């Protein structure tokens, strides 16, 4: 949604195919990176963000991608750090169950089919 309103969007994910998949889907509207220590969002980067810029850390359950992330709640999901807004509600993938299921099925389907084909 953010890319659709011309926001500058960078997405991090642990999967190696992630950047290619997002490039195919969104082109240059989203910068996609494979999550690694050198790609994590540091406190220094958060401090350099434009006032009112924001981040949503959907990986907060396993520790998060932002150095400044901390678990919040759905009742009180947002908080500020150095002028940037964070939204790090836990269990966020569960609120998009169909999308999450599709994302999980894609990489696991070949293994399930392989097991099924072995009887």
pLDDT tens per residue across span 86-110: 877 666 555 555 666 777 777 788 8
CB atoms within 10 A of CB 19: 17
β-strand pairing of 84-87 with 54-56: parallel
pLDDT tens-digit series, residues 59-71: 776 677 788 888 8
Residue count of the chain, please give it: 119
Residue from 10, 96, 19 nearest 53 by CA: 10
- For 19-58, how does the pLDDT look when each residue is reduced to its tens digit (9 = 90+)? 788 888 888 888 888 777 676 888 888 888 888 888 877 7
Given a contact cutoff of 8 angstroms between Cβ atoms, the answer to whether 86 and 55 are in contact is: yes
Residue 79, beta-bridge partner list:
86
């Amino acid at each position: 949604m953010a890319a659709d309103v011309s926001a500058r969007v960078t997405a991090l994910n642990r999967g190696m195919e992630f950047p290619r998949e997002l490039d195919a889907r969104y082109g240059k509207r989203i910068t996609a990176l494979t999550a690694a220590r050198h790609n994590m969002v540091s406190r220094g980067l958060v401090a350099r963000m434009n006032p009112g810029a924001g981040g949503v850390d959907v990986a907060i359950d396993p520790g998060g991608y932002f150095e400044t992330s901390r678990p919040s709640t759905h009742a009180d999901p947002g908080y500020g750090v150095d002028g940037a807004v964070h939204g790090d509600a836990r269990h966020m993938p569960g609120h998009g169950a169909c999308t999450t299921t599709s994302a999980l099925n894609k990489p696991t389907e070949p293994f399930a089919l392989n097991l099924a084909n072995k009887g």
